[in-house]
Amino acid sequence: MKLQMLGLCRFSYVGLRGYQVEHASFEERRAYLYAPERLARRWLWFTEVALPGWRAQTDPDFTLVVMTGPDLPEPYLSRLRDLATEIPQLRLELVPPMERHLAACRAAVAPHLDDGADVIGHFRHDDDDAVALDYVARTRADFARVAPLWQEEGKLSLDYARGLMLKMEGGRMEITPRLCHNMGVALTIFLRPDAAETALSFDHSKLAQWMPGVSINRPLMFIRSIHGDSDSGAMGPGTPWQVEPGTEGRLLRERFGLKRGALKELAQRLG
């Protein structure tokens, strides 16, 4: 069974709906998203936190579509084009502002569907979150174990629940280990190739309404960022877990390709 891993990352896309912070018009939305200070911060999150894990995936067979608008201010549009040239798995899609957010997401993803795939593993990825270096490899292996569930209904979610909450505020960094179900990051929605939906079509907090789900609580698989520009600044429901003393730096390095010192410096730059 051929599985395509296909993700969508929205980078300051000027569209209505689909976010917790809403605006009444495209003009208001554009002014908010394209504010120079905000764009500078989002670029730091994207390049310093989100991208390292995608650059170094142990299984390079995936596609990550970065969705933004054709009027994204420079130098960011050119920088995204450069990244799409540099990183083989990254695809840039320039989608004009659309009122129907799910239709916009579908327009971004549709050109990259593999017609030869038997199943598409759709995933969403916020531009300030991170997944572990083996997210794609483990998702493939774990899907193979539960594929019969998907075959019955043509829909299945696979959730990696063990993560770290990364809070940056006032120039300081705080990391909180949490077990959280269906947070949206490191969550894969398996659909048939001809399905009209994408990962964004389903409220990740209510997936049981539409499909069976499997949750795996090991290993550590995601970092979710919380900061002043977050669409949702709340940590959300979850259960604490303990990191062995003195191992936090090693976990960041080995699981995500990140350095604790660099994250602390990022907090100061963002602060």
| Residues 6 or more apart in contact with residue 64 via CB below 8 angstroms | 7, 8, 9, 54, 89, 90, 91, 125
**Which two structure tokens, joined as six digits, stand for 61?**
């067979």
pLDDT tens digits, one per residue of 93-152: 999 999 889 999 999 999 999 999 999 999 999 999 999 999 999 999 999 999 999 999
**Which parts of the chain register pLDDT below 50?**
none
The single residue listed with the structure tokens 């609580």 is 217
All domains in the chain, ordered by first residue: 3-270 (3.90.550)
pLDDT at 21: 58
CA 40 – CA 82 distance, rounded (Å)? 17
pLDDT at 20: 53
pTM above 0.85, yes or no: yes
pLDDT at 43: 98
pLDDT at 19: 54
**Which two structure tokens, joined as six digits, stand for 271?**
């602060």
pLDDT at 22: 63
